[in-house]
Amino acid sequence: MLTQHPHTSAEVGSFYNRHTDVFDRALGGNIHVGYWDGESDDSPVQAATDRLTDLVTERLAPAEGQHLLDVGCGHGSTAARIAAHHAVEITGVSVSDYQIGLANSRPQSSDLPGRATFQLADAMKLPFPDRSFDGAYAIESLMHMKDKKAAIGHIARVLRPGGRLVIAEHHLEGDLAVEDVDRMADAYAFFKLSLTTDRYGELLREAGLKVVDYTDVTENVRRSYDSMDDSWREAARNESDSEKAQEWEAAADLARWIFAVPQLRYGLLTAVRL
């Protein structure tokens, strides 16, 4: 039985206040994994992480004039890319005040077709009226939320009927080996996360969302893991504060372990609000 370590939204925000810059350096200006087409794809990490954004956007299928919700917007790179190519309005939320500051300081040309704004808000209690959004996406954010039922319920509440929710993140398939259970609990506690074992299936149904597509892309994102490991270890080498250096090393060690767990998968899931 995997022990859960309940973590508050403030703790998640504090984690990302500290680690956002490391993720940014590792992932080419984004803070989510990249997607490579195959072993022969020699795209740099920035192109690969941009491609992951594009795959999410394709599944979202944004139409001109729509209002989209970015759940866990990070420092705004994903919303900026979508707004640069689609005439939509995007509202991004994060529990990290550092990320929101970066997102709101990102230049937005008036010549772009879309616009994005960002605010400090908790997805487990979204401060928006019912049916406010035409679509929503959550890239590697729901896994950090202690009350996933509340988060998905709020996303469903603010979506209009027919609106799409696209989720991109890690999950577990199958039971962990007995010797891995405690180590995974340590990883959960450190990274302030917990992974779904059913791809949110029951929670989505309860919230009035129907899953219409799921694609496993685990093998396409694996190269991101080495970049993250390298970035944390470089941060540790360059850090004069011994406590911070230890945190970067701990992150690298735990991440290297969790990314090798055979039950760990990464998928793209699309659901529609009924």
pLDDT tens digits for range 3-50: 566 799 999 999 999 999 999 999 999 999 999 999 999 999 999 999
Residue 65 phi, psi (nearest 5): 85, -5
C-alpha atoms less than 13 angstroms from C-alpha of 46 in its C-beta half-sphere = 6
Q: pLDDT value at position 271?
A: 98
Short-list 205, 194, 142, CA closest to 168: 142
pLDDT of residue 202: 97
Distance of CA 241 to the CA centre of its chain: 28
11-24 burial string, b = 16+ CB within 10 Å, else e?
bbbbbbeebbbbbb
Q: Which residues of the chain register pLDDT less than 70?
A: 1-5
What is the domain partition of the chain in residue ranges? 9-273
Taking alpha carbons only, the member of 201, 67, 187, 85 closest to residue 133 is: 67
27 Cα distance to chain centroid: 13
Q: CATH for 9-273, among 2.160.10.10, 2.60.120.10, 3.30.460.10, 3.40.50.150? A: 3.40.50.150
CA distance 90 to 118: 8
Nearest to 35 by CA among 52, 57, 54: 52
pLDDT of residue 109: 85
Condensed to tens digits (0 to 9), the pLDDT of residues 100-114 reads 999 999 988 889 999
Q: Specify the pTM.
A: 0.97
Relative to beta strand 67-71, strand 133-139 is parallel
Distance CA 52, CA 32 (A): 8
- What pLDDT, on a 0 to 100 scale, did the predictor assign at position 110? 87
